[in-house]
Structure 1
Amino acid sequence: MIILSKSKRTLLSAAILGLAFSFSGLATAQSPKIEEGFDYRILPTPQPVEAKGKVEVIEFFWYGCPHCYDFEPELNAWLKRQAKDVTFRKVPVAFRDDFMPHSQLFYALESMGKGDAMNDKVMYAMHKENKRLMTENEIADWVASQGIDRNTFLATYRSFAVISKARAARQMADAYRIDGVPTIVMQGRYVTSPSIAGTKAKAIAVMDHLEQKIRRDKYK
């Protein structure tokens, strides 16, 4: 057994305490600093949220966007660890008229109850199998290859409801001032993305920060 003198015990305690402070400072330094204007921005005109008492998260995306495809694993992992007060929805963005078929594809699959099962497959087909899916026939042929009835899909794809939702999504993107994808908007006012935050990991950290802020602010 080693017995330390009182003075040595005092010095040892001070050293341990100093080391603890050093590790604490290191942990603080490693935590990413999140700042408005750098890591996220606030919409000048807040948009209405669909549900009160919830943290609303919207991903504006485009099937053909490689950055959206690249961000999906991190976003899906983030969603899996969220509490029940977090709501999430995707909104397709058509920056050009020739992208509108992708928005119609999204809402047609959603209307058929196949959105959750098919969205990742659409993106995989486009980014890994080089499927362009830019025309109605290309889209219908591919959907049929996935075991979905072609005629049923086309009837849904061409329906007034689906076309209206695709047009409304474009208007919504304008109202939210979306100028690139993927973009995350939380509570109708806080905007971030991997490009705004700098990296995918930082964007996820910003989303965690904003989620906590929204709860502290009583879902405002």
Structure 2
Amino acid sequence: MRPLRIALLALGFAASAAFASPAEPKLGAEYIQLASPVAPAADKKVEVIEFFMLHCPHCYMLNPDLEAWVKKQGANIEFKRIHFPYTGPNDPEAHAYLTLEAMGLAETHTYSAMQAIAKLRRYWTKDEDAFNWAASAGIDLNKFKEYWNSFGVQSKMKRLNGLVEKYKVDSAPNLVIDGRYMTSPGAVMNANAGMSEQAAVKALGQTLDFLVAKVQKEKGIKPAK
């Protein structure tokens, strides 16, 4: 797996704040085009993938506004997350996220897992860290362990490194749209001289809106009402 480099962003924004609207995003500035596109799984919707980590403070701070954006886009997009296996092929945080996903609890428990890790001020280094959190979060621990050890989750764990390599993503948070375009708060900030880090985070929504509309136009996908 490529070395992981966390984007250095001080994301001090209110969860309820709306994304800002700078000038129209430009290729090579606010976003890039992947040299080797990856065919998206979505067909009639625009696929949006967030590469993230549960212990990444920048992903944690981005989460509320990103989830608001996903809700706003609604049926226009197919949103999913891929967790970096930070400590290697047996990374307990990635394993925990895939377990939550398999249990249908990712949407309701991902942020609480981020909060718990942020409070600890350290990432999970062993399976027991994830188990202790699951129990404290009110999740049936026996069922959590059952899914944790299931063939489906174990198979997805083995494929994580390959997924990261396929998309050539080496930082978090990063978002890939339609397997072709990639953007991040850091890219937006770097593209706009003098823009504060907080403003860059809020401006990310406009770049994402722009890329979703761009893909819809390129592929003839009718926007959802």
TM-score bucket of the superposed structures, by smaller chain:
0.7 to 0.9
Q: Identify the match of residue 178 of structure 1 among 166, 169, 173.
A: 169
- CA 1:43–1:59: 2 relative to 1, 3 Å: same
* Letter matched to residue 112 of structure 2: K
Please tell me whether residue 169 in structure 1 is matched to residue 160 in structure 2: yes
Q: Does 1:214 align with 2:215?
A: yes
1:104 maps to: 95
RMSD: 1.9
On the 8 A contact 2:55/2:122 being kept in 1, the answer is no
Following TM superposition, by how much is the alpha carbon of 1:62 offset from its aligned partner in structure 2, in angstroms? Answer: 0.6
Q: CA deviation at 1:130?
A: 3.5
Consecutive unaligned residues of structure 2, counting only runs of 5 or more, are 1-20, 190-199
Task: Give the partner amino acid of 1:215.
Answer: Q
Cα deviation, 1:112-157, whole Å, max 9, x if unaligned, reads 1211111011001011344643211121122112222222212221
> Residues 7-46 of structure 1 correspond to what in structure 2 (within 5 A)?
31-46=22-37
Q: Unpaired segments of 5 or more residues in structure 1?
A: 1-29
Measured after TM superposition, the shift of residue 160 of structure 1 is 2.8
Contact 1:53 1:218 in 2 (8 A): no
In structure 2, distance between residues paired with 1:85 and 1:38: 24
On the 8 A contact 1:52/1:219 being kept in 2, the answer is no
CA distance in 2, matches of 1:197, 1:115: 28
* Aligned residue type for 2:202: A
The secondary structure found in structure 2 opposite 1:63 is coil
Are 2:82 and 1:81 aligned? no
More helix by share: 1
Give me the whole-angstrom Cα distance separating, in 2, the residues matched to 1:61 and 1:101.
14
Q: Distance in 2 between matches of 1:219 and 1:131?
A: 45
The answer (yes or no) to whether the contact 1:111–1:156 under 8 Å persists in 2 is yes
Give the 3 Å change call, closer, same or farther, for CA 31–141 of structure 1 in structure 2.
closer
Equivalent AA in structure 1 for residue 161 of structure 2: R
Summarize deviations over 1:42-69 as a string: whole Å, max 9, x none.
0111101112121111111011111101
Q: 1:219 to 1:91 in 2, by over 3 A?
A: farther
Which structure has the larger Rg over C-alpha atoms?
1
1:84 is paired with a residue whose SS is helix
Q: Distance in 2 between matches of 1:155 and 1:31?
A: 47
Normalising to structure 2: TM-score of the pair? Answer: 0.79
Which of 105, 112, 121 is the equivalent residue of 2:112?
121
Higher mean displacement: 83-92 or 54-63: 83-92
2:83 alignment partner, one of 80, 86, 92: 92
Which has the bigger relative contact order, CA under 8 A and spacing at least 6? 2
1:131–1:142: structure 2 CA closer, same or farther, 3 Å change rule? Answer: farther
1:152 is matched with which residue?
A: 143
Letter in 1 for 2:128: N
